[in-house]
Structure 1
Amino acid sequence: MNWDELTQAQQDEAARYFDSQLSPALTPLVVDPVNPFPFLSNL
C-alpha cells in the first residue's frame, strides 16, 4: 500500500515502529582509530 492509502492510525503505528525498531539499526556508526568497529561476537 502507499502511505496515502493508510488510515491515520496505521500511519501512526508505522511511524512508531520505524522510530523504535528500524531507525536505530540504520543509524551510521563512526569507525576510526579513536572509535574502533564494535566487537561482534557472532561473526
Structure 2
Amino acid sequence: ASKTDVPEDFDIDMENPETEKAAVAIQSQFRKFQKKKRVDKS
C-alpha cells in the first residue's frame, strides 16, 4: 500500500503543511494514550 493508494472518498490535501501539523498532534495524543494504557495495565 503506497501513499498514492487511497480510497476514492479521501479528500485530505496531503501537501498542506497544516495537515502535517494535525497528524503530528494526533500521533502525539495517541502515543500518550498508549503509554497511559500500558502503565494502567501493569
Q: Is TM more than 0.5 here? A: no
TM-score by length of 2: 0.40
The structure in which a higher percent of residues are helix is 2
Kindly name which structure, 1 or 2, has the bigger radius of gyration based on alpha carbons: 1
TM-score by length of 1: 0.40
